[in-house]
Structure formats: C-alpha cells, structure tokens
Amino acid sequence: MFKYSKKLLDHFFHPKNMGKIKNPDGIGVAGNPICGDVLKLYIKIKENKIADIKFETLGCAAAIAVSSVLTEMVKGKTIDEALKIKNEDIVKELGGIPPQKIHCSLLGEEALKKAIKDWQSKKK
C-alpha cells in the first residue's frame, strides 16, 4: 500500500481544472506504457500567459493528483515560467509522492512541454 500525502489525496478526490478546453491553443499528451497512465493537457494562451489549462487523465491517484496540481501551478504563468516547472517541483507541491509513483510526475512535465510546443508550432 502506498502512503500518499494529504494534499495528493485532496487533489485526487477533488481534482481542479479537469475536463477539456474547446479549441485549445495547444494539446500535450504523455503516457507511461509501464503502468498505463495517460495525461492529456489542453492550454489556452493569452498575451504569452497560460490563461486556461485543463486535463483529462486516465490513471492512478498519483497521476490524477499530478495533473490537478500542475494545472494550478501553471495557470496565469508566462510560457517561460511554465517551461521551468520540473517534475521535482510537482512532487514538492504535492508534499511528496511514493518512489514507485515518481514516474507520474514526469507525465505532468512532459505533457506541459508538449502542449506548449504544440502552441508554438501553430503560431509560426
């Protein structure tokens, strides 16, 4: 049995920003073939800031909590600020993640970078 922090459990049971954005500016998908977790992230950009962000995650408690807390961490941030967020920051924000679940935090970082890259490629 895994020991989850109170904050991780709160984000799992009461996820923030769950859902889809209609006509998103960028979409990032990250998956882990080992455990089957998949995170799909949608972003809306206004004035080089993440104005809105939502997620759809198929996965364990840690994957859902990572998705939820990530959206709260980046909403309102500039693109440059958002790109500086690493999986360690997500883990810290959640009050830790069991070692066997650290890969879930990598999904968050990867999906965010892919969503931003998708937006940047459409801008050109």
**How does pLDDT run across 7-39, given as a tens digit for each residue?**
999 999 999 999 999 999 999 999 976 778 999
Q: pLDDT exceeding 70 applies to what percent of the chain? A: 98
Provide the pLDDT for residue 35.
73
| Residue 25 near residue 46 (C-beta atoms within 8 A) | no
Q: What is the pLDDT of residues 102-116, one digit of tens each?
A: 888 899 999 999 999
- For the cut 80, the answer to whether the pLDDT of residue 99 exceeds it is yes
Q: Do 41 and 111 contact (CB within 8 A), yes or no?
A: yes
Q: 6-123 is classed in which CATH architecture? A: Alpha-Beta Complex (3.90)
| Cα 70 from Cα 52, distance rounded (Å) | 12
* DSSP structural state of residue 48: T
Active site residues: 35, 104
pLDDT digits (tens, 9 = 90+) for 57-85: 999 999 999 999 999 999 999 999 999 99
pLDDT score of 2: 78
> Going by C-beta distance under 8 Å and a sequence separation of 6 or more, which residues neighbour residue 122?
25, 26
Query: What are the boundaries of each domain within the chain?
Result: 6-123
Q: What is the pLDDT of residue 29?
A: 96
